[in-house]
Structure 1
Amino acid sequence: MFNFNVDFTGEFVAFFLLAVCAIVGAVMALQFTKVVHTALSLAFTFVALAGLFVLLDAEFVAFVQVLLYVGAVTILMIFGIMMTKHQDEGQEPSRPLRDTLAAIGCLCLFGILFYAIRNAGFPAEARPGDENNTLEIGKLLFSQYAIPFELVSVLLTVAFIGAVALAKREEGDAP
């Protein structure tokens, strides 16, 4: 069951390091109590995920991951935090039972995923990808998916304007 025939190539080491970075960043985002630290931890996770996309030969998706999530979403989160008022609330009380149950649940999930992946039948040969996947994505984006692309851009613009309007209204309510 546990035959670990793994070639320790550079790609394997890079995948392992990036996967560990993504997991650590995600766990730290859940553990931090300050929102700015959580946002920076999420940015760290997003950069690690972009590295994993590069390993999968999806350079365009990696670039978009860095551009949108690391750049735009993290900056918007930090600006949103800075524009709203936060009172210093007390530290959340420690709950050792909850933490213990969460750790047991995580270990069980890891065991189930490990068992499922080890017993899964993956195809021996991967389908060769296009040499220029960015060109193919661009063709699809501006031909077949032009309307959803524009609708998402309008939705993001409306969400940003709404966030600014809510922040301004909250600022006006202050004495």
Structure 2
Amino acid sequence: MFENMTEFLSSGENIAFFFCALLAIGGAIFMISFTKVVHMVLALALTFISMAGLYIVLEAEFVAVVQILIYAGAISILMIFGIMMTKHTKEEEEEPKRPWHQVLLFIGAAGLFGVIFYAIQQSEIPSGQFPQVADNTLEIGKLLFSAHVIPFELMSVLLTVAFIGAIVVAKREED
């Protein structure tokens, strides 16, 4: 596929993909490695934002904006509010130090990366031409409000009922 690394790094699109992919993988690794929940949520938000960057590289701007608004914004804020609203009376227990755990984790992650990188380099990816759409958002809107209008409206009714139910439950707990 690429004869050498300079050919790979000659394209800005490849550099942006590589950077966003590293951020996504790094955020995911940090998310499972951190011990404090707020740090985990921030690492998850980094992963969500870098995924939006990958969508931009793939020329799916609408999906990237939705990714940032819903996942990086709303879901991350919701998780932080949930953490802040819950009571944490139990003191955190210190885990015993395991120095070999981190070393083995790094070796395993590097080995997995090497296997996946080798498999991708050796695979034959057929090149195909897909019709280029002038405006992705316009096409998604046309499909959403023509062919998929019933599921769209049902989802809005479901979200409204869930919102009203949350208000009723919150009122009951308050009383």
TM-score of the alignment, normalized to the shorter chain, above 0.5: yes
Contact 2:41 2:76 in 1 (8 A): yes
- Residue of 141, 147, 162 corresponding to 1:158: 162
- Residue of 27, 31, 43 corresponding to 1:41: 43
Contact 2:21 2:54 in 1 (8 A): yes
- 1:132 maps to 135
Contact 2:2 2:8 in 1 (8 A): no
- Residue of 12, 16, 19 corresponding to 1:17: 19
**Unaligned stretches of 5+ residues in structure 1:** none
**Once the two structures are superposed, what CA deviation does each residue of 1:25-74 show, in whole Å capped at 9, x if it has no partner?**
11111111111111111111111111111111111000000010011100
Q: Scaled by the length of structure 2, what TM-score is found?
A: 0.78
- 2:3 maps to 3
* Alpha-carbon offset, residue 117 of structure 1: 0.9
Matching residue's letter, 1:80:
G
Contact 2:52 2:63 in 1 (8 A): yes
Q: Structure 1 segments of 4 or more deviating over 6 A? A: none
Q: Scaled by the length of structure 1, what TM-score is found?
A: 0.78
- Residue of 104, 107, 110 corresponding to 2:110: 107
* Alpha-carbon offset, residue 142 of structure 1: 2.3
- 2:75 maps to 73
- 2:97 maps to 94
Contact 2:23 2:47 in 1 (8 A): yes
Identity of aligned residues (%): 51
**Once the two structures are superposed, what CA deviation does each residue of 1:65-122 show, in whole Å capped at 9, x if it has no partner?**
0010011100110111111112332123334555455444433432332222112211
Give the 3-state SS of the residue equivalent to 2:117 in structure 1.
helix
CA 1:157/1:74 → structure 2, altered by over 3 Å: closer, same or farther? farther
- 2:122 maps to 119
CA separation in 1, counterparts of 2:103 and 2:163?
Answer: 38
* Alpha-carbon offset, residue 11 of structure 1: 2.0
**Unaligned stretches of 5+ residues in structure 2:** none
Aligned length: 170
Give the 3-state SS of the residue equivalent to 1:27 in structure 2.
helix
